[in-house]
């Protein structure tokens, strides 16, 4: 049955992408968009820029580019803003991050040098390893939120933006658990006035975004918008939210491979994952309290894909270990090893080894771009609250309360594309295909 589709406001005018954190991921994103705009490079890894979507029957031969199928902001209409605890421009921060070659950065020096970060909302206790002085002060956390709201309004008018989205690409905060102050908007606002230590800086940014009608995506594993209070605010303000933790590197590999093993009913005894990483993210994650946030996010994927409670004989007792070691010589070029102990027919044991020599920010930047563009689309389509259809991009997708997340990347992609078809009133694709044999 063909659906009616959803009314979507056109992507007219400028889209401001507000980046919290102007580090390796953010500068790789900004430089990449500028390089693509100038025809220097291709947006490899970005579904919104390079992906297609099949419509109708396999015999119809209709597979437009996603960006031609749904009204997305054009890269030419994007303008970037950022906050960071360091005053470095995007050019200096990109040079410092060492992800992209100097030659490429020098070709883009004009747009990168002109992107200078606004003063950040930062609390030392949340990221112990970093010390910067481009930081706001205020009488309490509500005051800091109001300063961010003023920054957002100023940025909007200075840059003549029609719409804005905010993406958290700042350092991973320490692990905190949901407590009473996170349960309702009233409780959170009171806690902000009281300077409660459990109101993380990332929550203050998200609060300010939503109060300004700006969608918010969380690229790190911090709790941030994944609390009832901010879900409540998203419903109240009609703003789209999603998170958390960009799915790149090792977890990407896990959610590609694990569904395949499970589909063949191959058993799993254990999955040992370790990484060496030498960038600033690695330095922050070297602190056990910050690593704990990442560990929880990374560990959750296999449990949900393998469903040990449904398949106790195959997956009832597997061991899953994740390590990250800070090793400066590697910079952003992370190396991730996986040792996977599996068993097959009659319980015979086998092993798989993966050695992924990846580049963290090269994998993350296109995800940040897609998230910004899709969140802007969702907002124009009136899709408020948690955007589970964007699970494709996250290690620990945010879902409605009581709903387990889908981690299988193929289910996530199908969900994403079916959401786009639904938005445009196209038939959803179930892959049943009986009609070809009638």
Ligand X SMILES: NC(=O)c1ccc[n+]([C@@H]2O[C@H](COP(=O)([O-])OP(=O)(O)OC[C@H]3O[C@@H](n4cnc5c(N)ncnc54)[C@H](O)[C@@H]3O)[C@@H](O)[C@H]2O)c1
3-state secondary structure string across 300-351: HHHHHHHCCCCCHHHHCCCEEEEEEEECHHHCCCCEEEEEEEEECHHHCEEE
Tell me which stretch binds ligand X (CB under 6 A): 21-29, 182-190, 253-261, 383-391: 21-29
The phi and psi torsions of 32 (rounded to 5 degrees) equal: -65, -45
* H helix or E strand, kind and range, residue 281: helix 280-285
Q: Is 275 in the site for ligand X (CB under 6 A)?
A: no
CA angle 51, 55, 56 (to 5 degrees): 160
Figure out which of the listed residues 15, 17, 24, 70 binds ligand X, where binding follows CB under 6 A: 24
Tell me which stretch binds ligand X (CB under 6 A): 81-89, 223-231, 398-406, 425-433: 81-89
Q: C-beta of 183: minimal distance to ligand X in Å?
A: 23
Q: Which two tokens stand for residue 24?
A: 């390796």
Subset of 94-133 contacting ligand X (CB under 6 A): 97, 120-122, 127, 130, 132
Q: C-beta of 219: minimal distance to ligand X in Å?
A: 5
Nearer to ligand X, 121 or 372 (CB): 121
Q: C-beta of 295: minimal distance to ligand X in Å?
A: 12
The phi and psi torsions of 325 (rounded to 5 degrees) equal: -115, 130
Q: Is 252 in the site for ligand X (CB under 6 A)?
A: no
Q: Is 16 in the site for ligand X (CB under 6 A)?
A: no
- The C-alpha atoms of residue 109 and residue 111 are separated, in whole angstroms, by 6
CA angle 60, 45, 84 (to 5 degrees): 140
Q: Is 226 in the site for ligand X (CB under 6 A)?
A: no
Nearer to ligand X, 69 or 86 (CB): 86
* H helix or E strand, kind and range, residue 47: helix 47-50
Q: Is 246 in the site for ligand X (CB under 6 A)?
A: yes
Subset of 166-185 contacting ligand X (CB under 6 A): 169-172
- Look at residue 418 and give its three-state secondary structure: helix
Query: Among all residues, whose Cβ is closest to ligand X?
Result: 23
Binding mask 297-336 for ligand X (x = CB under 6 A): ----------------------------------------
Among residues 156, 136, 154, which one has the least CA distance to residue 204?
A: 136
> Which residues here bind ligand X, judged by CB under 6 A?
20-26, 83-86, 97, 120-122, 127, 130, 132, 169-172, 201, 219-220, 245-246, 248-249, 279-281, 360-361, 363-364
């Amino acid at each position: 049955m063909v659906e009616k589709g959803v009314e979507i406001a056109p992507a007219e005018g400028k889209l401001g992408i507000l980046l919290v954190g102007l580090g390796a991921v953010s500068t790789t994103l900004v430089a990449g968009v500028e390089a693509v705009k100038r025809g220097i490079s291709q947006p490899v890894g970005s579904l919104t820029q390079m992906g297609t979507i099949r419509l109708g029957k396999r015999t119809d031969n209709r597979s437009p580019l996603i960006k031609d199928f749904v009204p997305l902001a054009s890269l030419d209409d994007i303008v970037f803003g950022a906050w960071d605890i360091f005053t470095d421009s995007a050019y200096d921060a990109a040079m410092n991050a060492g992800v992209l070659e100097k030659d490429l950065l020098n070709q883009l020096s004009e747009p990168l040098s002109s992107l200078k970060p606004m003063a950040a909302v930062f609390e030392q206790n949340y990221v112990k390893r970093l010390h910067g002085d481009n930081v706001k002060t205020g009488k309490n956390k509500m005051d800091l939120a109001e300063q961010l709201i003023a920054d957002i309004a100023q940025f909007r008018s200075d840059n003549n933006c029609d719409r804005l989205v905010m993406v958290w690409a700042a350092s991973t905060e320490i692990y905190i658990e949901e407590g009473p102050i996170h349960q309702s908007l009233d409780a959170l606002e009171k806690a902000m006035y009281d300077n409660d230590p459990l109101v993380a800086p990332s929550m203050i940014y998200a609060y300010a975004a939503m109060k300004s009608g700006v969608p918010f995506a969380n690229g790190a594993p911090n709790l941030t918008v994944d609390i009832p209070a901010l879900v409540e605010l998203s419903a109240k303000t009609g703003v789209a939210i999603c998170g958390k933790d960009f799915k790149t590197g090792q977890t990407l590999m896990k959610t590609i491979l694990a569904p395949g093993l499970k589909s063949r009913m191959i058993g799993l005894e254990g999955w040992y994952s370790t990484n060496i990483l030498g960038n600033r993210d690695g330095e922050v994650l070297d602190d056990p309290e910050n690593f704990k946030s990442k560990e929880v996010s990374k560990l959750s994927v296999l449990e949900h894909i393998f469903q040990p409670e449904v398949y106790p004989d195959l997956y009832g007792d597997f061991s899953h270990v994740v390590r990250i070691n800070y090793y400066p010589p590697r910079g952003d070029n992370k190396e991730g090893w996986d040792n996977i102990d599996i068993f097959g027919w009659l319980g015979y044991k086998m092993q798989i080894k993966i050695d992924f020599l990846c580049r963290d920010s090269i994998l993350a930047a296109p995800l940040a771009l897609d998230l910004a563009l899709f969140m802007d689309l969702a907002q124009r389509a009136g899709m408020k609250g948690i955007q589970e259809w964007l699970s494709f991009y996250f290690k620990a997708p945010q879902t409605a309360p009581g709903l387990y997340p889908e981690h299988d990347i193929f289910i996530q992609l199908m969900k994403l594309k079916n959401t786009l078809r639904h938005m445009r009133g196209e038939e959803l694709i179930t892959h049943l295909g009986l009609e070809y044999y009638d």
